[in-house]
Amino acid sequence: MQLVILDRDGVINYDSDDYIKSPEEWKAIPNSLEAIVKLNQAGFRVVIVSNQSGLARGFFNIDTLNKIHAKMYRELAELGGNIEAIFFCPHSPRGACNCRKPKPGLYNEIALRLGIHLTGVPSIGDSLRDIQAAVAAGAVPILVRTGKGLMTETQLAQNGFDRIQVFDDLASAAQAVIYQQQLKQDKLDNK
């Protein structure tokens, strides 16, 4: 079974400069949950990696974050999909942690907990720090234009990431990931 790593805000749900502070504020981007279902149906395990500095800033507490995630899990389950795990950094940008993207700490935690290497694992995000963290962990970064993605796309070349795959949204990125996996499987089957 393959793995896909997703950022949350701006990829699965609409992002906000004021943070997603309640379950009511969490709203899925059209077709994002369906994209996760399709990934699951194609044999992919899905995990989320997310900076959640709103915890450190006092905008919400862990109970509220759990309720936000419960809403996401519930809406996804209604469609037949599953997110295996959510890894998040609760620290502020001023913290000296290794888990806040663009650092690869959360990615390293995924590899350790799941007992896998992240080489070749697709990691879909909307920000430059998502791309940087994926590269630092050895994963394959993919950018979506939702959330902060349009702005990030203009920064790719100047930051040395001019060969990153870019898609309009999670649905189109998931379709490409599934297709690329099918191509790999066909090559193996034809050997």
Domain ranges for the chain:
2-189
Alpha-carbon torsion angle 184, 32, 151, 118, nearest 10 = -40
| CA-closest candidate to residue 2, choices 49, 50, 48, 42 | 42
Q: Tell me if residue 130 is catalytic.
A: no
Q: Which of 7, 15, 130, 169 is catalytic?
A: 7
Q: What CATH class has 2-189?
A: alpha beta
Question: Per residue in 78-120, pLDDT tens?
Answer: 999 999 999 999 999 988 899 999 999 999 999 999 999 999 9
- Mean pLDDT value of segment 159-168: 94
Identify the pLDDT of residue 1. 65
Single pTM value for the model: 0.96
| Residue 7 annotated as catalytic | yes
Per-residue pLDDT tens over the stretch 50-63:
999 999 999 999 99
